[in-house]
Amino acid sequence: MDAIILQILNGLDKGSAYALIALGLTLIFGTLGVVNFAHGALFMIGAFCAVSLNKLLNLSFETVDPTRTDFLGNPLKVKTPYIEGWFGPDLGHAIIDWSVPLAILFSIPIMIAVGFIMERGLIKHFYRRPHADQILVTFGLAIVLQELIKHYYGANPIQTPAPDAFKGSFDFGAMMGFDPNTIIYPYWRMIYFAFAAVIIGGVFAFLQFTTFGMVVRAGMADRETVGLLGINIDKRFTIMFGLAAAVAGLAGVMYAPINSPNYHMGMDFLVLSFVVVVVGGMGSLPGAVAAGFLLGILESFASMNEIKSIIPGIDQIVIYVAAIVILLARPRGLLGRRGVMED
Amino acid sequence: MTNFLTRRGLLKTGAVTGAGLALPTIFTSGASAFTNEPTGGTVTLGFNVPQSGPYADEGADELRAFQLAVEHLNGEGDGGMMQTFSSQVLEGNGILGKKVEYVTGDTQTKSDAARASAKSMIEKDGAVMISGGSSSGVAVAVQGLCQEAGVIFMAGLTHSNDTTGKDKKANGFRHFFNAYMSGAALAPVLASQYGTDRKAYHLTADYTWGWTQEESIKAATESLGWETVNTVRTPLAATDFSSYITPILQTDADVLILNHYGGNMVNSLTNAVQFGLREKMVNGKQFEIVVPLYSRLMARGAGENVKGIFGSTNWHWSLQDAGSQAFVKSFGTKYGFPPSQAAHTCYVQTLLYADAVARAGSFNPCAVAEALEGYEFDGLGNGKTLYRADDHQCFKDVLVVKGKDNPTSEFDLLEVVEVTPVDQVTYAPDHPMFSGGALGSCNAGA
């Protein structure tokens, strides 16, 4: 029982990341009709916003400590972050410690700008081209972006810790009457899940309850008619691209403390996120979110030793097996609509 | 019928055929006796390192070391470990008087890409020796290629037992230590630190290195009384290990052994710490984590999580012997930071190759191999070392290290807790973990 609860918890945080990326993918596909293979790169850029802010806050001046020596035997240069010099060691340290939550604010304008430049600069030229062209150009863009990140940040993962206050884990077992230490879950992963829920709720509320959202939904249903009504739907869709980029970026920022970011992390999530979108139903936002969590939980269960002992290697293929089964039973995915990506 | 086969006809045909057969040797009498024999005033070495992909940073450090080695061989710079090397035949005038030049290839940490880049360096650039690499899969693949092509392969960072075990080749040589040695060096330290009554749970990267690493550390710890609760293989492409970590909470294991390297190690260790494993008490004992193969470059990615965690390494820049100090000084002065263990092994392999050529008086791979086989040397940072003739593996002391509690800089992440003497990590050439392959005979190619 406790093992099952643990794997559900595991699945929820993995599912949160899949759902956030798939949500952005679906927003872009639903509004602009573009299959954006560079979406994983946006997730990665978000994580590197957290890395960059952490590095910025850690910019230091050097003082020479003659009592100690460095690896070459020269007097040791001790680095002190400027921020600790300006605000005092305690406050300065606290600001650096909270760099990941601060990066949320830092990343939103950056991600919107990146999204805007990507859409206006490249992707808009491919609206009327076949999906295959769009996939190729966005996939190429993803590779360019990740190589750029690798050039500036290196290939190794970069540690970006959560604030000290959120280190450690919560003992669900003790709370729920199981043995202590059998169901423990890291605080930051619980925060990640809550954060994802807030963002997903926010995007749905925005689309559902604002006039802007209503126009966008109308445009998703029938772009031409909305255009004929004199509404500049393209402008709104560009804004939606920025929003989708911001959602992916925020997912990346908050993911940085879970696994140290590296240049390849976007690609690791991209393929799975596409499976999530297809399983959820192309163009369906609730479908993307539901499939994200479903596949996240399935993946967690498949890596349990009990299940692996029955079907060896199932942890590596379970998502694809589930996708095949679901698509055979429901060819348009869980919540897919007729006519999307169909001739 | 007899019309065709007259005596005169036979003589004519014989003469023409004989001349035809002799033609290649007449025209090529001055040609190579072996692949890529250097003829001008230069000799070309091929450095095949990961310049892209997940191990690109390690590859970049290897390349720095190779460049430094080439400088020193050509008499530039401060000479580095050439001054401390027990063999003093290298004079700083290149190799056998030929200036050393080099070409580089990108292994991408993929076997097929690594073979293609090595092949191109051998066939197009005329490289007479290939070195480098940061993965056992790649090392085994390139070693096989060099054997076929008739050039020497001086392996870079490769830790799988198979490289000098079932996949060993007469043209291939490994200076780096291996998984068996890590297990043999680490297990006694673990037993003295954590006791002999421990239950271990293994997470293992699912490829050649992970398998041999798991087999080695498992055998070594079990022989000291530890029990193995479970061994779980994780996909090499896995990034989030939480679903592999949480089942550990359900067992009575009190040690987690992470047979992971690179990004896998960074992520699995970070995840294990996040799930509170290091604060956990099991069977009245503190839960412990072990990382059998440490890389300082990659330990950086795991940050504070490496503190207090035991592992092993081939070499560390904080060693105080004259060789290590000379190397750290010339590398640190040129690049501004201390070298990694990958850089060290690549630098040493280049010097060892050059030295073997100089002692043999020839670039012929068979002569070089003969000079390296059974060769004993010192002064290259690992103390007395033997290149064993039976399997072309170097035997030397092994370092057991621990994540440092109070690092003074971003490089100061590991501290050496024990230098395990070579006798303790030496095994018989026919040890079961290394059986299966044959060295074969050297191939000079051409």
pLDDT band at A35 (very low <50, low <70, confident <90, very high): confident
The torsion region of residue A252 among left (phi > 0), alpha (psi -120 to 50) and beta comes to alpha
Which residues in chain A are contacts of B408 at CB distance < 8 A?
68, 76
Q: Which of B52, B109, B249, B285 to mutate to test the interface with A (most CBs of A within 10 A)?
A: B249
Query: What stretch of H or E contains A223?
Result: helix A223-228
**Tokens representing residue B318 in the block:** 């904080």
Which residues in chain A are contacts of B305 at CB distance < 8 A?
159
pLDDT band at B29 (very low <50, low <70, confident <90, very high): very low
Q: Is residue B261 part of a domain?
A: yes
Q: Is the pLDDT of residue B2 over 70?
A: no
CB within 8 Å of B433: residues ≥ 6 apart = B161, B165, B180, B212, B215, B216, B219, B427
d(CA A156, CA A259): 12
| DSSP summary character for residue B339 | P
DSSP E strand stretches across B223-361: 227-234, 255-259, 281-282, 285-286, 288-293, 310-313
Mean pLDDT over each residue of chain A, to the nearest integer: 88
Co-location of B49 and B119 in the same domain: yes
At B238 the pLDDT is 83
At A342 the pLDDT is 59
The residue out of B285, B311, B337 marking a domain boundary is B311
Asked if A181 lies within 8 A of B249 by C-beta distance, the reply is yes
pLDDT band at B23 (very low <50, low <70, confident <90, very high): very low
Q: Is residue B28 part of a domain?
A: no
d(CA B363, CA A256): 51
Asked if B263 lies within 8 A of A305 by C-beta distance, the reply is no
3-state secondary structure of B408: coil
Higher confidence at residue A96 or residue B23?
A96
At B49 the pLDDT is 96
Q: Which of A156, A181, A182 to mutate to test the interface with B (most CBs of B within 10 A)?
A: A156
Q: Which of A21, A71, A151, A166 to mutate to test the interface with B (most CBs of B within 10 A)?
A: A71
Which residues in chain A are contacts of B301 at CB distance < 8 A?
156-159, 260, 262
**Cα dihedral B2, B3, B9, B10 in deg (nearest 10):** -20
Q: Is the pLDDT of residue B12 over 80?
A: no
Q: Is residue B424 part of a domain?
A: no
Average pLDDT over residues A307-329: 88
Q: Is the pLDDT of residue B10 over 80?
A: no
At B331 the pLDDT is 96
Q: Is residue B390 part of a domain?
A: yes
d(CA B446, CA B366): 12
Q: Of B424, B429, B418, give the one whose Cα is nearest residue B220.
A: B424
Asked if A3 lies within 8 A of B247 by C-beta distance, the reply is yes
The residue out of B354, B381, B396 marking a domain boundary is B396
Which residues in chain B are contacts of A265 at CB distance < 8 A?
239
pLDDT digits (tens, 9 = 90+) for B220-231: 999 999 999 999
Co-location of B226 and B117 in the same domain: no
Co-location of B69 and B118 in the same domain: yes
Which residues in chain A are contacts of B412 at CB distance < 8 A?
71
pLDDT digits (tens, 9 = 90+) for B303-326: 888 999 999 999 999 999 999 999
Mind telling me how many Å the CA of B405 is from chain A's nearest CA?
17
Residues 127-156 of chain A with CB under 8 A from chain B are 150, 154-156
Q: Is the pLDDT of residue A155 over 90?
A: no
Phi, psi for residue B341 in degrees, rounded to 5: -65, -30
List Cα–Cα distances, A199 to A30, A208, B122, B163, B399, in angstroms: 18, 14, 55, 50, 49
A315 vs B: CB within 8 A: yes
Q: Which domain holds residue B239?
A: 180-311
Give exposure, B253-290, as e/b (b: 16+ Cβ within 10 Å): bbbbbbbbbbbbbbbbbbbbbbbbbbebebeeeebbbb
The residue out of B275, B290, B311 marking a domain boundary is B311
pLDDT digits (tens, 9 = 90+) for B333-380: 999 999 999 999 999 999 999 999 999 999 999 999 999 999 999 999
Average pLDDT over residues A284-306: 88
* Nearest residue of chain B to residue A298 (CA atoms): B243
Q: Is residue B420 part of a domain?
A: no
Instruction: Give the number of other CB atoms < 10 A from CB of residue A140.
Output: 13
pLDDT band at B236 (very low <50, low <70, confident <90, very high): confident
Cα within 13 Å of Cα(B230), Cβ side: 20
Instruction: Give the number of other CB atoms < 10 A from CB of residue A38.
Output: 28
Co-location of B46 and B171 in the same domain: yes
Co-location of B198 and B237 in the same domain: yes
Return the sign of the alpha-carbon dihedral for residues B109, B142, B313, A74: negative
A31 vs B: CB within 8 A: no
Asked if B266 lies within 8 A of A150 by C-beta distance, the reply is no
Co-location of B211 and B305 in the same domain: yes
pLDDT band at B52 (very low <50, low <70, confident <90, very high): confident
d(CA B291, CA B301): 14
Mean pLDDT over each residue of chain B, to the nearest integer: 90
* Nearest residue of chain B to residue A7 (CA atoms): B243
pLDDT digits (tens, 9 = 90+) for A48-57: 999 999 999 9
Q: Is residue B357 part of a domain?
A: yes
Q: How many folded domains does chain B comprise?
A: 2
β-bridge pairing B394-395 and B385-387: antiparallel
Co-location of B154 and B189 in the same domain: no
DSSP lists the bridge partners of residue B258 as B203
Co-location of B156 and B204 in the same domain: no
Residue B332 has its nearest CB partner, among A6, A72, A303, at A72
d(CA B303, CA B272): 13
CB within 8 Å of A322: residues ≥ 6 apart = A279, A294, A295, A298
Q: Is the pLDDT of residue A335 over 60?
A: yes
pLDDT band at B299 (very low <50, low <70, confident <90, very high): confident
pLDDT band at A305 (very low <50, low <70, confident <90, very high): confident
Average pLDDT over residues B37-58: 90
3-state secondary structure of B267: helix
Co-location of B388 and B328 in the same domain: yes
* Nearest residue of chain B to residue A178 (CA atoms): B250
Q: Is the pLDDT of residue A339 over 50?
A: yes
At A117 the pLDDT is 93
Asked if A14 lies within 8 A of B317 by C-beta distance, the reply is no
Q: Which of A260, A301, A315 to mutate to test the interface with B (most CBs of B within 10 A)?
A: A260
Say which amino acid occupies A136: L
DSSP string, A244-271: HHHHHHHHHHHHTTTS---TTHHHHHHH
Residue A6 has its nearest CB partner, among B246, B409, B411, at B246
Q: Is residue B413 part of a domain?
A: no
List Cα–Cα distances, B189 to A187, B299, B400, B420, in angstroms: 34, 20, 8, 9
Angle between helices B322-335 and B56-73 (to 10 degrees): 110
CB within 8 Å of A101: residues ≥ 6 apart = A163
Q: Which of A43, A303, A319 to mutate to test the interface with B (most CBs of B within 10 A)?
A: A303
At A340 the pLDDT is 61
pLDDT digits (tens, 9 = 90+) for B150-198: 999 999 999 999 999 999 999 999 999 999 999 999 999 999 999 999 9
Co-location of B259 and B349 in the same domain: no
Average pLDDT over residues B86-114: 94
Phi, psi for residue B380 in degrees, rounded to 5: -110, 25
d(CA B236, CA B292): 17
pLDDT digits (tens, 9 = 90+) for B244-267: 998 898 889 999 999 999 888 988
Say which amino acid occupies A288: A
List Cα–Cα distances, B116 to A343, B238, B353, in angstroms: 43, 27, 23
Co-location of B286 and B337 in the same domain: no
Return the sign of the alpha-carbon dihedral for residues B368, B369, B370, B375: positive
Mind telling me how many Å the CA of A84 is from chain B's nearest CA?
18
| CATH number reported for the structural domain that contains residue B49 in this entry | 3.40.50.2300
Higher confidence at residue B327 or residue A270?
B327
Pair B357, B373: CB distance under 8 Å: no
List Cα–Cα distances, A196 to A205, A277, B50, in angstroms: 14, 17, 37
Co-location of B170 and B184 in the same domain: no
Instruction: Spell out the domains of chain A, with CATH numbers in brackets.
Output: 2-56+106-329 (1.10.3470)
Lowest mean pLDDT among A87-96, A158-167, B17-26: B17-26
Asked if B242 lies within 8 A of A299 by C-beta distance, the reply is no
DSSP lists the bridge partners of residue A79 as A62
Pair B178, B209: CB distance under 8 Å: no
Q: Is residue B411 part of a domain?
A: no
